[in-house]
Structure 1
Amino acid sequence: MPADASSPIPLAFDRLREHPGESPGLLERLAEVPDPRVPRGVRHALVAMLALTA
C-alpha cells in the first residue's frame, strides 16, 4: 500500500535524488539492505526510512 499523499517521506526521498553529489551511491547502497518486514502493513519503503535516518 503506498503512503498517503500527506506523508513527507516521498518528498524527502525525492530531494535526496536531486543531490547525488552530496552522498554518492548512498541510495543505491541503502536499496541493497534487505527488508525484514512483512509486506502487509508496510507504509513506507525501507530505503526511504534509512535515507532519512542517515
Structure 2
Amino acid sequence: MPAVASSPIPPVLHQLRDQPDAAEDELPGLLARLAGVPDPRKPRDVRHGLVDVLALAA
C-alpha cells in the first residue's frame, strides 16, 4: 500500500495559481527580499548572516 502524501506543496501551489502575475519591475531580487527577514538569533550566537544562510538554503 503506498504511503499517503504529506507534503504541503501541492495545496500551496494551488493557492498560488490564483495570484496575478507580477510585472518585471515589481520583482525584487532574492537577496533584497531575504534581507527583509528579521533575524531572531541572539547577536552573540551569530557566525553567518541570516541572508547568507537563507540564500544558501534557497
**Superposition TM-score tier, normalisation by shorter sequence:** 0.5 to 0.7
- Consecutive unaligned residues in structure 1, runs of 5 or more: 1-23
- Consecutive unaligned residues in structure 2, runs of 5 or more: 1-27
Match of 1:38 among 23, 42, 48: 42
Greater relative contact order, per chain length (Cα 8 Å cut-off, separation 6+): 1
Question: Amino acid of the residue matched to residue 29 of structure 1?
Answer: R
Which one has a larger percent helix, Structure 1 or Structure 2? 2
Percent identity between the aligned chains? 74
- Alignment size in residue pairs: 31
In 2, the alpha carbon distance for the partners of 1:41 and 1:26 equals 25
1:50 aligned residue: 54
In 2, the alpha carbon distance for the partners of 1:53 and 1:41 equals 19
The two structures have a TM-score, normalised by structure 2, of 0.51
Higher Cα Rg: structure 1 or 2? 2
